[in-house]
Structures are given as structure tokens and as C-alpha cells.
Structure 1
Amino acid sequence: MPARKPPARKRAAPLEKYREKRNFTKTPEPSAKVARGQGNSFVVQEHHARSLHYDFRLEMDGVLVSWAVPKGIPEDTAAKRLAVHVEDHPLDYGGFEGVIPEGNYGAGRVSIWDKGTWEPIGKDWKKQYASGKLKFVLRGSNLKGAYLLARMKDDTNWLMRKLDDKDIPVRPDVKLDRETPDFISPQLARPVPNVPIGEGWLHELKFDGYRLIAVRKKSSMKLFTRSGLDWTDKFSGIAKRLAAISKKDFVMDGEAVVFDGKGRSSFGGLQSALQAGDQEHIEFVAFDLLHLDGENLRDLPLSMRVERLKKLVPEESGAVRRSKVWPSSSGKELFKQACKTGLEGIISKSASGRYHEGSRKDWVKSKCRARQEFVVCGYTPPKGSLPAFGALVLASCEHGKMVPRGKVGTGFTEASRRKLLKLFQTIPTTEVPFRTKEPGVKWIKPQLVAEIEFAEITRDGSIRQGSFVGMREDKEAKDVQLDPLQITSTKRGKINVAGIPITHPERLVYPDDGISKLEVTKYYERVGPMMLPFVKDRPLSVLRAPDGISGSSFFQKSFSNFLPEHVLQQDLEDGSTVFSIRTLKGLVSLAQFGVIEFHLWGAKLPAPEKPDLLVWDLDPDPDVPWKEVLGGAFLTRDCLAGLGLETEVKTSGGKGLHIVLKTKRTLEWDEAKEFTKAVANIVAEHNPQRFITTASKSKRKGKIFIDWLRNGRGATCVAPWSLRARPGASVSMPLNWEDLSEATAAGFTIREPSSIPSEWKRIKPQTITKAMLRNVGL
């Protein structure tokens, strides 16, 4: 017989359980009062109780029906989150923020993370909810779109997922939210390796101009850059023309452009027109309508927004024109023609997609040539007959720090060189943002942004054959990151990395950072030659996240069904099964198979019983200052140096540091583990208030855990240069000791250049002698 579904949840008297769990003379939480009437509010509260979780609440029948979501509300369709159904809360709880005192149920700080309105999907939604399924649409500040809550076998455990925008039904009589028109952060596009195919896409040409958000409010017409700067005066001609197209309030997304004699948008032509005050030749191309006559249109599908835009901007030519839209079947051909005629490329958008402010998840760009913005950090002295300066020193801003991207010395006129030099001389600085071998650099404050066209990004992360296009006054330096993909391929078939075919190269592995599977595999291709000497022939444990880090992830120590190409697997004498790699193809093959993190044994095959790599993992409590972690690393280094042992250091890719010791295979596992424990204890004795060597989390508050447990047989440590499955795509980065003091708690990421530190090449395996063992008390 088929398994019976759990019965529908039976409610006690409204808010009875809520009342039973609280003493309202001791907690500031709202009393148990059922509201009258029907509302549609929702709230998400960040709750720092015994462990951080998020409370998700939907207004139904005068109460807030509530779930506790340990890992946060999913914001990506690949994510699936456990949501534990808890007692209903009073409607007043939706506005509660504060601290629930110790000794009370749910003690800890509560703050509102998001709030807004919700709408069920389907007329019979109450019946569906009673049976354990609820589809709904959220309209909040952070959360927007369709969601699903589905009850699992346990009556209290539900599964929460974000649905695709196409799952949101659109009724002809849909009631739109009312709002006052204002600046809206524009939706952005991420680069993709191939033009998207299949149904559901709309394609447009990519224009070479300034992105503008046009806001008409009553009789006022304002134009804003993508970062919110008011550029109405700069584009006064466009403002005047847009003000005349309608007396209704609106917010429009588009681009200011100047077309050349061949009908191509020209950024250089636009800058020349602005400098000359030539407003007549600057045109506005509208491609989206976000607000009209007091109504928020951003929750409508793109196809419906375009239809409404046509009524305001009916023509595809003229000083104010509508961007032409091509159907899904025309994408590849349109891209080929765009490249052939010298255009930048095309933009592809989901026809059913809502407008996601500031997001890159739903729009993609196919680029004909490598071109993007970089931060100008300095300039070199002029050479030969060049006036003003020789070249600009460039960087991108990755996780708040400047990462060098080489220099550019072509694409300037004599006049532009002199004009730029005057600008640079107004913002000199003595602070050097990064090390460089370039002599005589004049450093400036890293706040100016330039657009550069180039041939490619080299393995060390620098541009090759760069050419200056122009300055970008509309973009802030902090928003300039390296594009993960430089050009889009027109070839059919799978993309190969290191000879390995990559399936779903466009899949987002790090959704919030716009990092795709192709970028991950190319990263491992790039660092593979450095990484392999440390990974080759070692038993591995890998973390796989086939749907990206917002989806499910799991560790894998062996393969029972499918063994990826160029991966070797064998049984050890104790009957356990391990796998390893020997080549770059093996490394990339595992990345193709959804591997993000590589963790390695401290021993090599064919001698897995003899460790040759020992690690001390400094794992700090979140409250420990970074300088204390650095001090702990130096203290551990000095302790081992006192024994006559030379160590290496790397970041963990998280919040800690790893001290690494290469050893000759003279010890058994048990001896090696006892040695690492003894060293950890000696270091901890220097400052017992700061260090701890036991794994008990309850005792680690405000301390650094010196983790020596990674040195047992079968235990692993993350490999040098391995990515971590965390937002930001951090890397476990090897360093020289002399460079460690310059490292920050933010660490290093996938988009930073990598090299082998000299100490990691120089230091050879050392012998842990009997005298050393005696010196640590063994």
C-alpha cells in the first residue's frame, strides 16, 4: 500500500502554544492577541538564539504562520532549505525587534531582515496548504519572486525553495503595488561562454554608452547613473526630450549613446559630444519600463513590461528610441552579425523574468571582444617622445582590495594624455595599493575608472595588448571586478578546458558573485601546475556542489558508480577505498564533476601509512581580532623553528591560517599526531587565555583553536590553492612568511593572481628526530 500522507495540521486555540511558551512579565515580545481582518504581510527576522537562524512568517487569518529556517531564506533556484514549522505568532510580532532575555524561550537578539507582502499562487491555495504544499509570491526589499513550501514526512519539517519567475502566473487584472517613482538600481548582466539558446529568451544589441535610469516625478525629470549619481545636467538634451513623451510619472531603464556614420554606438563619440556640449547628437535608447503612473511594474514579466514601454516609446529610431528586441531563435545569428559589424555584443534576457534590482542572475551578455573597466592606481613616467605619462597602472577591486591587472599605454591622443595627467596630479598618494616591479610609478588615489579593450587576461591576471577606450565617470572603483569571461564563443558543441569537455559551463557555482562553472574549471586549469606537486598521488576527499554553493553539497572520499576521467581509485590494505589524481586533466575532470574543494591526506601513495605533511590549523572564534591570528601563526612558526624545523604558511580560505611542515617519512601516524598535539600544547601554554587545543566549541569563545587533529590517518586538510564553497569564492592561498603580515582577514579569491611563494619551492622535507620528540615531551 502507498504510504499515507501526514494528516493536515490541526490547530489548537489561536496562539495557545505561543502563549504557553512565554512569560510576558519577563520577555518584551508582543502578547498573544489575534488580529481581525485579512492581511497579506510577511516578515523575515534574524534571530541570534542558541544558533543563528531566520524566522519566516506569513500573515494568515489574523496570525503569523511561522517557520524557522536555519540556513536562511533561499535566494537562488538551486537552493533547498529546511524550514521547521513552529507555533503561530501574533501579528504584532511582525514589527518586533529587540533582545529576548536569557532564561526565556528563544533568548537572543531579534532583528527584521526583510518585510513586505505575499500573495498565494492558485485559487485553492488553502486546500493545498492544508495538504502540505504552498506556492506563493514574495514582494519585499530583499526577497522577491515565487517560492514553495512543501511538508516533508515529519509534520514539522518543510522544504523551502525559490521557484523560477516563469512559475509566477500573471493575471490580466493583476493588482500592482503603488509607489512613488524614484531611482532604481539597474539590473545587470553577467558574461556567458555561449549565446543562450532555447525558448524564453529575448535578445537585444549591447550598446556602448552610459547606462541611465530616467525618473519622471510630477513635472521633474531626472537622469541617474547606475550608481545613483544625478547626471540630469550632463544629459540635459535627453532629459528635455524624455519629459515630453508623457505627462505620467515613469521610471525608464536605458542608455545614452552617440551613433557613428555606420549606425554603431560609439563611446568615444559620446565622450566627444559631452566635452563639446553637443546635446543634439546624444540619443536615448530605452529598453525597460520599471514604473508607470504610480505603479511598480518590476514584478511583471519582461515581455509585459516591453509591451507597456512600446506605448510610451513606439519607435525604434529617433532621439528617444526603443531598443529593438529579437526572439529567442535569433540569438546566435544576431550575435554573429553584431561581431561582424564591430559592435560590443548582445544582451539576452528571460522573457518571463521580473526586474531584479542590482542582480546579475537573470540577464546575460555575449561579448564580441574583451573589454571592461579597471581602476587607475597610478602611471609611469613618459618614454621617448610620449607626453605626460607612459602607461596607466591598472587594478580591479576584489573583496575590498586592489588586485594588479597590468598596464595600458596605447589608445591615447596627445591631448587626452595631458588632460588625464592634470586630473591625476590632483589626487596623488603615498600609499601603495600593491607590489609591482614597475619602476618609477606615480601612485594616485584608486578612485578613477577607465575602460580598456585588450586581447586576453594572462595566467598572472594581467591584461595583454590593452588599449585605452575612455574614462568611466559613471562607475565607482569599489564596483570594478574582473569579468569572469572575456569573450563569447560562436562555436557549437561543448567547451573544453585542459582537454576535458565542460557540461553546463554557464551554471552559476557562486550565484552572488556571478562565478560560473566554466570560471571554476578554468581557475583549476590556471593553478593546476602549481597545485599538482602538492596534490598528486595523495588520497583525496572532495566537496561537491553540483548545483552551486546555494544548492546541496557533500563530501566524497570514493566513487561507487561513476569514476570521472583521469581519476585513479584503489583499495588500501585495510579495505578502505581512496582516489587520487596524477595530472592536470584529473584536476579539471573533478571540477567538471562538480568538485569545488580539494582536501588531501598527509601521506602519499603508495605509502599511505607514512605521513609526510603535517598541519596546524589556527581556527579563531569570530570575535578574535585578525592580528591575534597572525600572532598565533608566528608563534607556532617560532616554536617549530626552535626545534630546528622550517615551516610554510597558507590561508585556510576561511577565517584561519594553516602552518605546514614537510617531513620525511620516518614517523607512523600515531607518532606524528602526538607530535603535532604536543607542539600545539606548547604554543597554547604561552597564552592560555587566547589559545585552546581541545575541540569543544563551548570552550572556544574568544579563543584560537590550534587544530592538530588533521594529522591522523584518513584526516584531511584543504589543499593549497583550493577554492572554498563560500560566498566570494575564497582560496586557500600559500604565502611567504614575510608576506603574511600584509594579508587581511578577507583573504584571497578566485580572481586574484596566483604564484608559488619562494619558500614553498625552497623548503624540503625534514626529519623529526628523536631529540625533537623528547624536547616536546614525547
Structure 2
Amino acid sequence: MGRWSRGRPITVVVPPGARGGTGLPALIQPQLATLVDRPPKGGDWSYEIKFDGYRVMTRIEGGVATIFTRNGHDWTERMPRLADACNALQVDDAWLDGEAVVLDSSGQPDFNALQNAFDRRSTAEIVMFVFDILWLNGTDLREQPLRARRALLRDLMAEQSSDVIRFSEDFPQDPVSLVASACKMKLEGIIGKRGDAPYRSGRSPDWIKLKCNLRQEFVVGGFTRAKGARSGVHSLLLGVYEKDGSLRYAGSVRPYFSSRDGPAFLKRAEPVLRDSTAFYNPPKPEKERDYLWLDPSLVVECSFLEWTPGGEVRHPIFHAVRDDKPASAISEEPMVAVETDEPVEADTGSTREVPGPKGGLKIGNIRITNPQRVLDEVTGHTKKELAEYYAAIAEWALPYLHNRPLALVRAPDGIKGELFFQKHSERAAIPGIQELPTELHPRHPPLLVANTPEALVGLAQMSVIELHTWNAIAPDLEHPDRIIFDLDPDPALPWAAMLEAAELLKVVLDEIGLRSFPKTSGGKGFHVVVPLTRRQGWSETKAFAHAVAKHMAKVVPQRFSAVLGPKNRVGKIFIDYLRNGRGASTVAAFSVRARSGMGVSMPVSWDELKEVTRGDEWTMSKAVERQRSLTVDPWHGYWQIRQGITATMRRAVGID
């Protein structure tokens, strides 16, 4: 099969049995790999590098390429040099599957450099490693075995060499050795693919991934707590010893101690408190934190994504205090080759997955049953993917969940089945979930809180999709620490009306002296969150929220309604203030929604609000990708806000 209209013919031969297509597909969802803890012993497998970049699907029609992200977003304009290289390929039409990366000086994929390239809008250094071809010159190749597709792709790439588009080679070595080599080279891992399998969109056992596991002990050189607080631990300050015996600061980790472990740690820390730091490169102090320094004698174990160029851990997860190793023996562990008779650890820390009995698997210490059960028929999202998401997002979600009573939405039969609203553990204990003392909520069963990554995975195991939280934190459940305004639009309104409404509410709150923070609801609109110092009770707070809603409806009656009910919001946006009563709850930041598409409630900054295109813009994968790419918290300053409802504020919204 050749291509004559744009230059010399291409001599690649389409495999026998490939079928003619009925038309170039508008979109093809990528095939995804299943994470495993060891390579399969038999079968027709080939192995490739797992590139640390962005997955891209490239559609070429009539010599014009369109580059899509994994989630189907058109990023062609964001990568013009790559698009030009794809346009130059001498094919009539094609679908290519690959990974966009930026290579460092040693030729290794550098994810930080890739993110910086997009941030600077300077993407000329991006290259694409192509590892599959799904369509070529009117022929659908997806039913062909992988080895045939890759032979065709190899020939195509050999005839059209390019520095920008490169063929992803496979390697003949055994996978255990490949993983060891990948880890020593600080790569993410390897991908295994069945050579006799067709291409199948979505997650498939025919593609597997084996990832390097980074986990080790650290010396605790100190800890932080809220400014002026007399107890508690916000974060542990981690260190490792250098070869010359000096202690290097290696980052911080939130421990999320249990009610028992927190006091136990402080009891051990008190005798080794010191006046000055033992780190030769101590962290830069934060104004809102007190720093307590320790003699470097306590040891903890953490997992993490990677070491940064500055020698700190990225995305650490606390696991335990260790007593079996002396602090003096703790240094940055070098990566060593895995012995061929040992299993290969897959993924990092609490998100590590291992196969479980009877078709289940484990994420951290939580066994996930029926992991392939489909929760959303539209996207194909499974229970496994939900659990993976909550494990991955835990670092950012837990501060907004810590000690807040929960209301849960369960979907045991998927989001199209019956949904169950649950505030108590009832008959079944939820792995990792803690119960609050009954005296905090008299005459009711104990309220639930999720304070650890294990709790979030445990909720996913129970098919909990949505996490709703109170506006108060235990043990003080009588004084709310925030007000939430839920902007609920008439479905007929355009999205621009939602953006305008959020901005107008911000203006009013600014004028009366209250700082606010927006987040998408994961559904139709926005939530505007106003943090408070805990001075006011529930009735005062709810009355104030109601007054703000009525004030907005009075000032801009053509835009807002403060009266509940669909008939009262025709062409308008209802400012739902009812979520501010005792026992009422609102979907938490980073919670998934039990709606088609399974969007996520995502914190955003006021500055980026105009870039948001819908209330369910962020999916689970996009939410994790976004959080890992951020350099500044969109809600920067949230935890430092000290504001309350004053008499002047009440008068401003019509309360005498």
C-alpha cells in the first residue's frame, strides 16, 4: 500500500487480513495498561520503556494532523512543531498512538521539563515516541495483532525518519532486568504488551505496566504545627545523612496520625527537642507554622514518587514510625538491580497494587473486590479506577476532610443503579474509617471521618463515590469554620452566566470584607467557600448566609434567586445557602460525583476562573494530573485566613 499524492510511495505492506475502514474514526480512545506487581511467566510479550510524559493520540486526515490528549482534548495548537512533523508524514490518513516527552541532556524523558515547556508555551523541544498504529490509508488495523501493527509502524518510521517523531523500540531482555535497569536510570518503569493481541480502547490486561517502587526510611529532624498551637503535628521534617555525616533536609510529609499515634509520637519527641536545627540546609520557615527541632534520632518510613533535583522527595506518603533501624544508618538509598527470582514491585507506596484472591487486588492494605465492575457505562470507569483515584488524590484531599463528619453516596450497582446516602457505618465497618465519639452528636449513631489514604481507598472499596462533609471540624461541632454558597443554575442558562454569577458573588463578599475561594461542583456549577474562625454558632452563620443570598437577589434580581425550587430559578441562579445548617453537608473538594462522566469537584483560583469551561471539567485522571503539575496552590492562603462575621457585615446585608 503506497502513498503517491504527497511524494514518493511508501513501501510498507499492510498485514494480510486487515480490513478496510468505513471511514476514518473521529476519535479513538487509547488502550491503557493494567498495573501488576510482577511480569507474567509465559506468553508472547514484548516490553518497552514507560515514558514519563503525556499520552497523545494523533489523527491524520488529508495530510493534516490533529493531536489529542488521552481524554480527547485537542492540543494541536499547543504543540505546533510536533503537529508540523506529523503533517509531513507521507500518508493519506492514519491514527498513531504515542507519548509526548521532553528529553534531558542525557536523553532521558524529563517530566518537569515537559510541564515547564507548556507553562512557558515553548514546546519546540517536545518529541513524540510512537508505539502503535491503529489506522493507515483507509485500513483499520486495530484487529491485527500487536506484532503486525508494530512491524508496519517500524517500516513507516524507517522510511520517514524525524527528530521529532521517533519509534518506541522494544527490548529483548527479560522484564525483571529491564525494570531494574529502568529504575537505575530513574525512569518510571516499563510497559509489557501481548504480541498476539488486538488493540482495545480502555484498560486491558493485554498491556501491563511494571513501575519502580521508591520507599525508604527517613530521619525526623523536626516537625511543624499551627502557629501558636500547644499541641498537634502538621508535618514531619524529613532528613537523610550524607556521606560526610551531615544531615540533609529531604522534604516534609503530613503524617495524619490517629488519635492514639499522635500523642505517642509527641511523647517520644519531647525528650529530644532542641533549640536549633540539625539540618545543614533547613527548610525556609512559613509564617503560619511553628518549627520544633529534634535531635535526629526518630525514624519514619515513607513512600514517594521521585527525588527532585534539589534532593527532596516528591509527593511523599507517611507509613510508619520505625524502631528497627538506627537514625545514623539512614541515607538516600541507591537503586539496585532486582534479582531475577524476586517479584517486581509495582507502583509506589499506598497506591501499590497487588493481585488479590478471587479476582480482587490490593491498593495499600485495602483489598478491592470486583475491581473491574463498571461504575459509569458512559466512560467505562471501574471500581478499580475509583480506588486508584482516591489513593492518588489523598495528599491533596485529606486536609479538607480531616476530622470533618462525612455523608457518603454509595453506588454498589453503578451510578445508574440505586444510590445510597450514608452518614454512619451501620452494619458494615468501612476499612480505614474512624468513628467520632457519640457525645459529639448525641442521640445519633457515631459520625464518620476519613483521615488517612487508607480510609479513602476503603470508601472506594465500599463503592462510595461522593464524599460530602460538614462545615465544622471535630471535636468542636457547634461552631462552623466555613460558609458555603452553592450556585445552582437553571439548566437552560449558558456557562457564561455561571462565570458572571461567581464573580458577582465574589465582589459582594469582597465589599463586606470576606475573602472567598471557588471550586467547581463536579456537576453543574460552582461552590464559593468562605473560611471562618470558629466564633459563630450554626443559627447565626446560616442566617448570615441566607441574608447574603437575599441581598444578591435584591441587587441583581435578573440573575439571582434566594428561594428554593425550580420555578423560582427560571432564567436565574439559585444561591443555595441551606448547606450551612448543623448536619448539612456539601460535596468535598476532590470528591468524584455520581453522575455520568464522574467529574470531580476541583478547587480553582479566582484568577483562573474564566478558563473553566464547565462544572464537571475535571475527570479523575485530569484532577490528579493537574495537582501534580501545580506549582502554586489555587487556594493559597486558605488555611491562614482569620475572619469572622462582624456587626458591620451583618448590617451590610440587611441584618439588623
TM range, normalised to the smaller chain?
0.5 to 0.7
> 1:666: Cα distance to partner?
0.7
User: Would you say 1:761 and 2:604 are equivalent positions?
Assistant: no
Q: 1:374 aligns with which of 52, 56, 60?
A: 56
Q: Judge conservation of contact 1:730–1:747 (CA < 8 Å) in 2.
A: yes
Q: Is the 8 A contact 1:370 1:487 kept in 2?
A: no
Any conservation in 2 of the 1:408–1:466 contact (CA below 8 Å)? no
Matching residue's letter, 1:602:
N
Task: Indicate which of 522, 525, 529 corresponds to 1:656.
Answer: 525
Alignment of 1:77-226 (within 5 A): none
- 1:348-747 correspondence to structure 2 within 5 Å: 374-375=56-57, 396=69, 398=71, 400=73, 420=86, 422=88, 436-438=118-120, 440-442=122-124, 487=208, 493=357, 494-570=360-436, 571=438, 572-577=440-445, 578-745=447-614, 747=617
* Residues 771 and 601 of structure 1: CA distance in aligned 2, closer, same or farther (over 3 Å): same
Residue type of the partner of 1:342?
A: S
In structure 2, relative to structure 1, the CA distance for the partners of 1:543 and 1:419 (3 Å cut) is: closer
Judged with a 3 Å threshold, the aligned counterparts in structure 2 of structure 1 residues 396 and 707 are, in CA distance, closer, same or farther, namely same
Query: Which stretch of the first structure deviates more once superposed, 654-663 or 562-571?
Result: 562-571
Q: Distance in 1 between the 2:117 and 2:571 partners?
A: 34
Distance 1:497 1:624, change over 3 A: same
AA in 2 matched with 1:567: I
Asked whether the 8 Å contact 1:647–1:662 carries over to 2, the reply is yes
Q: Is the 8 A contact 1:693 1:705 kept in 2?
A: yes
- How far apart are the structure 1 equivalents of 2:393 and 2:562? 33
Candidates 46, 63, 77, aligned match of 1:342: 46
Distance 1:482 1:396, change over 3 A: farther
Q: What is the identity, as a one-letter code, of the residue corresponding to 1:539?
A: P
Cα shift readout 1:505-557 (whole Å, capped 9, x = no counterpart): 11111122121111111101111110000011000001000121122211101
Structure 1 pair 776–373 and aligned structure 2 pair: CA distance change class (3 A): closer
Matched, 1:770 2:656: no
Equivalents in 2 of 1:235, 1:506: separation in Å?
A: 42
Query: Contact 2:57/2:67 (CA < 8 Å) preserved in 1?
Result: yes
1:666–1:561 Cα change, 3 Å: same
Structure 2 Cα separation of the partners of residues 485 and 633 of structure 1: 46
Given the superposition, is the C-alpha separation of residues 744 and 714 from structure 1 closer, same or farther in structure 2, using an over 3 Å criterion? Answer: same
Q: What secondary structure, in the 3-state scheme, does the structure 1 residue paired with 2:608 have?
A: helix
Is the 2:466–2:592 Cα contact (8 Å) retained in structure 1? yes
The question of whether the paired residues in 2 share the 8 Å contact of 1:510 and 1:729 is answered with yes
- Measured at CA, do residues 580 and 276 of structure 1 come closer, stay the same or move farther in structure 2, by a change above 3 Å? same
Checking the alignment, whether the CA contact within 8 Å between 1:691 and 1:706 is kept in structure 2 is yes
RMSD across aligned positions (CA)? 4.7
Amino acid of the structure 2 residue aligned with 1:761: H
State the alpha-carbon separation in 2 of the partners of residues 400 and 526 from structure 1: 22
Choose 1 or 2 for highest CA Rg. Answer: 1
Secondary structure at the aligned position of 1:737 is classed as coil
Matching residue within 736, 748, 768 for 2:618: 748
Q: 2:50, 2:190 within 8 Å by CA — same for their partners in 1?
A: no
C-alpha displacement of 1:420: 4.5
| Structure 1 range deviating more: 680-689 or 400-409 | 400-409
Distance 1:276 1:660, change over 3 A: same
1:679 deviates by 1.1
Change (3 A) 1:407 1:774: same
Superposition deviation, residue 641 in structure 1: 0.6
TM-score normalised to structure 1 length: 0.45
TM normalised by structure 2 equals: 0.52
The 3 A distance-change label for structure 1 pair 278 and 620 is closer
Preserved contact between residue 539 and residue 579 of structure 1 (Cα < 8 Å): yes
Q: What SS does structure 1 have at the residue aligned with 2:46? A: coil
Quick one: distance in 2 between partners of 1:642 and 1:722? 31
Do 1:376 and 1:450's aligned partners in 2 also have CA atoms closer than 8 Å? no
Q: 1:403 to 1:396 in 2, by over 3 A?
A: farther
Instruction: Provide the rounded CA distance (Å) in 1 between the counterparts of 2:76 and 2:602.
Output: 15
User: SS state of the match for residue 566, structure 1?
Assistant: coil
For 2:386 and 2:81, the matched residues in 1 are separated by 27
Q: Residues 492 and 624 (structure 1 numbering): CA distance in 2 closer, same or farther, change over 3 Å?
A: closer
**Contact 2:488-2:525 at 8 Å conserved across structures:** yes
Which aligned pairs between 1:286-301 and structure 2 lie closer than 5 A? Answer: none
Q: How far did residue 613 of structure 1 move?
A: 1.6
In structure 1, give the amino acid aligned to 2:585: T
Higher strand share: 1
Q: CA deviation at 1:772?
A: 1.6
Query: How far off is 1:276 after superposition?
Result: 3.8
The count of aligned residue pairs is 395
Give the Cα–Cα distance (whole angstroms) in 2 for the partners of residues 404 and 395 of structure 1: 10
Indicate if the aligned counterparts of 2:78 and 2:118 stay in contact, CA closer than 8 A. Answer: no
Query: Are residues 450 and 624 of structure 1, via their aligned partners in 2, closer, same or farther at CA, if it must alter by over 3 Å?
Result: farther
Aligned to 2:184: none
User: Is this contact kept in 1: 2:363–2:388, CA < 8 A?
Assistant: yes
Measured in 1, the distance between the counterparts of 2:72 and 2:18 equals 33
Residues 543 and 492 (structure 1), Cα distance of their counterparts in 2 relative to 1, 3 Å cut = closer
Q: In structure 2, what is the Cα distance between the partners aligned to 1:709 and 1:656?
A: 16
Deviation at residue 713 of structure 1 after TM alignment: 0.5
Q: For residues 405-458 of structure 1, what are the alpha-carbon distances to aligned partners after superposition, in whole Å with 9 as ceiling and x for unaligned?
A: 99999xxxxxxx99658459xxxxxxxx999225622599x9x997686999xx
Q: Structure 2: 5+ residue runs without aligned partners?
A: 20-37, 60-64, 91-114, 134-166, 170-177, 180-186, 194-198, 211-353
Q: Which residue of 2 aligns with 1:240?
A: none
1: CA distance between counterparts of 2:590 and 2:544? Answer: 26
Letter in 2 for 1:532: L
Structure 1 position 396, deviation (Å):
1.2
- Structure 2 letter corresponding to 1:697: P
Q: How far, CA to CA, are the matches of 1:604 and 1:485 in structure 2?
A: 46
Cα displacement (A) at 1:653: 0.7
What amino acid does structure 2 have at the position aligned with 1:518? K
> In 1, distance between residues paired with 2:469 and 2:207?
33
> Residue type of the partner of 2:626?
S
Q: Percent identity, please.
A: 32
CA contact (8 A) 1:636 1:683 kept: yes
Q: Distance in 1 between matches of 2:564 and 2:41?
A: 58
Question: Matched residues in 1 for 2:545 and 2:421: separation?
Answer: 25
Measured in 1, the distance between the counterparts of 2:411 and 2:577 equals 27
Residue 650 of structure 2 aligns with an amino acid whose one-letter code is L
Task: Give the letter for the 2:46 counterpart.
Answer: G
Distance 1:594 1:740 in 2: 32
Structure 1: which amino acid aligns with 2:43?
Answer: A
Distance in 2, matches of 1:464 and 1:453, equals 15
